């Protein structure tokens, strides 16, 4: 009896020990962001192999799933519907088929997606259709339906893996009204990220009681106020100021980031950004220790992982080969001919054939007196000869509308002053840089390269004759001499100005901060807007003209030329090497 009692006691102790034993759960979180239609390992615009792509992401994910199986969580952080012609075709040309972007996310097993500003740019008919086609929820806690006061998209998604509860809260930068025409998002508003995060963190904590909270924000980390009221790029502010997040996944600014920050409660938050195009992914390993179903410990580590070593998913390519053929046929249509090669490279140093072609088309299409335009792509060219649909995505990168607005001469002048202040260095000696450059190019930000600021805010003008003195401070750089036809230019006269909808809505703040027009007043200045994107009208224009002879208009230049000319040569070679286009 004593032996039996002893054995039973040991059995109960053993059972108790097993019951109290810790359980370890390993999870992997994979984030993509700013894919911009880069689905295939082929650039349909440049007609060459593309780095990154969802095809490479899929190869990486499938390899990781061999280890993690269902414990791999796949997330996309927005700006997936705009960029390559693949997305454009299913946004606007084939609007009946299952949207290829949703089809791909479904095929790859994404667990949640987030809205980005360029997704909103496609318009409600497109992004609502896409979201409806996605099996995983599209998130947007701070995208509010003005009729109901409720989020237009699901604010968050709760996922459970092996006894661990993970909540993913999605938000977008609220600065949409500064960039996009209201007709694209009518009936919606975009609330402040930090206020929204506080509200939903409380709800998520009380209602869901998650073990891990992930913030997936289509916003970068360098916060600033836009249009006087929209906090842009507030991801880091939320990570630090709103306790409860274990991980904050960023996007939008196309700049790689992987670091840990401390929030106001003293807790560590992993902050990551995989830049763009699926070249790298945010690759996060989480180890959670459970005891009796309760989390006793969690370890979170992240790295940015290159997708190239994993190759291209043959399964992905086979599954989406019909759509690939459709897009190749679409972009291969010939629409006209250019008599010379044009490049954005000379546009940073004076009047150029590339930007002046945009100016000429904007003036012809709108009938305006003055045109404002910038290089939307940092470094691109269209070669002499036949022009195809794919060249149009090179000529004009974004789906902007063409606005005609009323601006005074002084407002045009002041907008240009801010533009050239973003663009040019103030030279104090002939050996200085003429361009405003960063000390170190930002990793992963290829569309910014060595510039301190984005080139899509470097507006020049056509329809007026002017000089830019690179030795003068902001406010004194630009001198407008006359209209292009030689008639006087007046600071107090109201002019019709052709410009894209991004600029017309306050994008880059050239009209608000630069010209001093309030965000609310901008709407009143719009005389007309095209109903389709500018690229559509540029394509029509070239098809009608058949032969385009691009040329620099020569309506502006940098002075003093004895400093500007050699400095331009040096900076050109610094940026692009010695092969001048």
**Maximum distance among all Cα pairs of the chain, rounded to whole angstroms:** 117
Cis omega before residue 554 (within 30°)?
no
Write out the DSSP string of 414-483: HHHHHHHHHHB---SSTTS-SB-B-SSPPTT-TTTTTBSS-GGG--EEESEEEEEETTSPTTSSEEEEEE
In sign, the C-alpha dihedral spanning 243, 245, 250, 256 is: positive
In sign, the C-alpha dihedral spanning 419, 422, 428, 431 is: negative
DSSP 20: T
d(CA 42, CA 324): 9
Main-chain dihedrals φ then ψ at residue 470, nearest 5 degrees: -80, 0
* Element of type H or E holding 259: strand 256-262
DSSP 245: -
560, 427 in Cβ contact below 8 A? no
Residue 79, by phi and psi: left (phi above 0), alpha (psi -120 to 50) or beta? Answer: left
236, 255 in Cβ contact below 8 A? no
- Which residues sit opposite 169 in a β-bridge? 156, 215
The two three-digit tokens of residue 445, written as one number: 């930000």
* Element of type H or E holding 287: strand 280-291
Angle at Cα 326 formed by Cα 358 and Cα 333, nearest 5°?
40
Main-chain dihedrals φ then ψ at residue 37, nearest 5 degrees: 70, 10
Q: pLDDT per position in the chain (581 positions), as tens?
A: 555 454 444 544 444 444 457 899 999 999 999 999 999 999 999 999 999 999 999 999 999 999 999 999 999 999 999 999 999 999 999 999 999 999 999 999 999 999 999 999 999 999 999 999 999 999 999 999 999 999 999 999 999 999 999 999 999 999 999 999 898 999 999 999 999 999 999 999 999 999 999 999 999 999 999 888 899 999 999 999 999 999 999 999 999 999 999 999 999 999 999 999 999 999 999 999 999 889 999 999 999 999 999 999 999 999 999 999 999 999 999 999 999 999 999 999 999 999 999 999 899 999 999 999 999 888 999 999 999 999 999 889 888 999 999 999 999 999 999 999 999 999 999 999 999 998 765 554 555 568 999 899 999 999 999 999 999 999 999 999 999 999 999 999 999 999 999 999 999 999 999 999 999 899 999 999 998 888 988 899 899 999 999 999 999 999 999 999 999 999 999 998 875 55
d(CA 247, CA 268): 9
What's domain 334-576's architecture?
Answer: Alpha-Beta Complex (3.90)
What's domain 22-328's architecture?
Answer: 4-Layer Sandwich (3.60)
Burial of 96 (0-12, 13-18, 19+ CB in 10 A): exposed
Residues of the chain with CATH 3.60.21.10: 22-328
Residues of the chain with CATH 3.90.780.10: 334-576
- Which residues sit opposite 560 in a β-bridge? none
């Amino acid at each position: 009896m004593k032996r039996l009692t002893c054995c039973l006691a040991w059995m109960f102790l053993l059972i108790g020990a097993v019951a109290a034993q810790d359980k370890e759960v390993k999870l992997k979180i994979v984030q993509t962001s700013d894919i911009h239609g880069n689905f295939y390992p082929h650039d349909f615009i440049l007609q060459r192999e593309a780095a990154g792509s969802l095809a490479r992401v899929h190869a990486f994910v499938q390899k990781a799933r061999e280890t993690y199986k269902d414990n791999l969580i796949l997330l996309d952080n927005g700006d997936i519907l705009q960029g390559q012609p693949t997305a454009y075709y299913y946004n606007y040309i084939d609007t009946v088929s299952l949207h290829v972007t949703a089809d791909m996310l479904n095929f790859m097993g994404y667990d949640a997606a987030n809205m980005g500003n360029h997704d909103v740019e496609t318009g409600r008919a497109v992004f609502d259709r896409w979201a409806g086609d996605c099996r995983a929820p599209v998130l947007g806690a701070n995208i509010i339906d003005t009729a109901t006061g409720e989020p237009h998209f699901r604010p968050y998604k709760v996922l459970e893996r092996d006894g661990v509860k993970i909540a993913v809260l999605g938000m977008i930068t609220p600065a949409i009204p500064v960039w996009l025409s209201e007709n694209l998002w009518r009936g919606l508003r975009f609330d402040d990220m930090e206020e929204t995060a506080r509200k939903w963190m409380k709800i998520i904590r009380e209602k869901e009681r998650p073990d891990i909270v992930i913030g997936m924000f289509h916003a970068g980390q360098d916060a600033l106020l836009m249009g006087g009221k929209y906090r842009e790029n507030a991801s880091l502010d939320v990570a630090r100021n709103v306790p409860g997040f274990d991980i904050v996944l960023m996007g939008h600014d196309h700049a790689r980031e992987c670091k840990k920050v401390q929030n106001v409660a003293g807790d560590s938050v992993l902050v990551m950004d995989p830049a763009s195009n699926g070249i790298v992914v945010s690759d996060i390993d989480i180890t959670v220790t459970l005891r009796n179903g309760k989390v006793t410990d969690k370890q979170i580590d992240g790295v940015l992982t290159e997708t190239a070593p994993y190759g291209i998913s043959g399964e992905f390519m086979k599954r989406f080969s019909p759509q690939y053929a459709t897009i190749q046929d679409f972009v291969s249509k010939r629409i006209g001919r250019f008599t010379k090669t044009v490049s954005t490279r000379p546009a940073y140093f004076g009047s150029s054939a590339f930007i002046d072609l945009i100016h000429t088309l904007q003036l012809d299409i709108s009938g305006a007196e003055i045109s404002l335009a910038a290089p939307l792509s940092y470094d691109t060219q269209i070669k002499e000869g036949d022009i195809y649909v794919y060249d149009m995505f090179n000529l004009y990168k974004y789906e902007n509308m063409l606005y005609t607005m009323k601006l005074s001469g002084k407002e045009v002048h002041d907008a240009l002053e801010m533009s050239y202040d973003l663009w040019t260095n103030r030279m104090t000696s002939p050996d200085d840089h003429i361009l405003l450059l960063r000390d170190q190019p930002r990793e992963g930000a290829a569309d910014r390269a060595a510039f301190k600021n984005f080139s899509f805010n470097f507006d020049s003008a056509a329809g007026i004759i002017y000089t830019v003195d690179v030795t003068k401070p902001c406010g004194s750089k630009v001198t407008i001499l006359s209209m292009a036809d030689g008639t006087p230019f007046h600071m107090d006269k109201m002019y019709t100005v052709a410009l894209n909808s991004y600029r017309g809505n306050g994008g880059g703040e050239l009209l608000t901060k630069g010209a001093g027009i309030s965000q609310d007043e901008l709407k009143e200045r719009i005389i007309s807007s095209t109903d389709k994107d500018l690229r559509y009208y540029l394509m029509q224009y070239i098809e009608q003209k058949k032969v385009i002879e691009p040329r620099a208009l020569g309506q502006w230049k940098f002075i003093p030329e004895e400093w500007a000319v050699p400095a331009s040569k040096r900076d050109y070679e610094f940026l692009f090497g010695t092969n001048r286009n």
